[in-house]
Structure 1
């Protein structure tokens, strides 16, 4: 049975651990975790969520870009399950943009990321996939991949001047529209 999972917050030591590879993708617990992560990220108005954010230190995340109150301009895509993901190639161009995190509520940071990446991952059916991701979806992948290595977006912000409250971020976004 599917259920919403509790999202842990910054300070929980699991967020700072490297995650383990998933060996048995078809395992019932893994498949249940996938369904619960998809439900949890949608409920939290996120665009991605990694297993460590729900206290499970495994190399699995969901990329689920769609417009929502936290990301009104996000592109629409089906939730994509990414197991044992890795970046195999990346652009030399670095782009800074605002990121938030379900495990760090109330704060946004201006984070430098690769503009495009080629990635490999295994889907929930055990099929190896490779995709080229650009812009916002590439940013989500890099953010979630960091979670698998115990890194949070605050670690990538270049200066405390690049931090803003969620409330101020939303106010500035509303001025743009």
Structure 2
């Protein structure tokens, strides 16, 4: 595997080309032109994490350097079940998002990119926009992509974000 121009291996720990290739693929000890070390992943969970993380085997968020990649947050109660009332489900998804952000010392103001998933965008969009406006009430607004889907594991709304850690 060839490294991109300007990327070099700081120190080789193996003597064979196969081991060297495996080393490169794992991205260990790789430095960029600016001398920045590639960051390790760190799992982030909110204080009162809900059952879905364990049940489905995923992290609430991953910190990598000064970025936080937050998994899709849904309007789930602590037992992992969906909030049945749609507007409350959206509010609860934002509450779960805020708890995950707080676990990494972030707020909604640190978000740079938002992706939302909707099971019935045509009928849900007005409600989502009302809730969104409460949480993102002043510019600069984060980037936002809304995607219509046909299944969200029993939920009707999901929000995932990328935030810059202050």
Rg larger in 1 or in 2? 2
Q: When the two structures are superposed, what TM-score results if normalisation uses the length of structure 2?
A: 0.25
**Taking structure 1 as the reference length, what is the TM-score of the superposition?**
0.24
